[in-house]
Amino acid sequence: MTRKRFVGIDPGHSKCGYATVFEDGERTALEVVPTGSIAGRIESDVRMGDIAGICVGDATTSKSMLELCRSRWPAIPVALVDERNTTLQARQRYYQDHPPRGLLRLVPRGLLVPKEPLDGYAALLIVERFLASR
* Domains in the chain, number: 1
> Which CATH number fits the domain that encloses residue 72?
3.30.420.140
Q: Which of 2-16, 75-89, 95-109, 118-132 has the lowest mean pLDDT?
A: 95-109
Range of the domain at 57: 5-133
Residue 1 has pLDDT above 70, yes or no: no
SS (H, E, C) the chain: CCCCEEEEEECCCCEEEEEEEECCCCEEEEEEEEHHHHHHHHHHHHCCCCEEEEEEECCCCHHHHHHHHHHHCCCCCEEEECCCCHHHHHHHHHHHHCCCCHHHHHCCHHHCCCCCCCHHHHHHHHHHHHHHHC
Chain segment 15-62, per-residue pLDDT in tens: 999 999 999 999 999 999 999 999 999 999 999 988 999 999 998 789
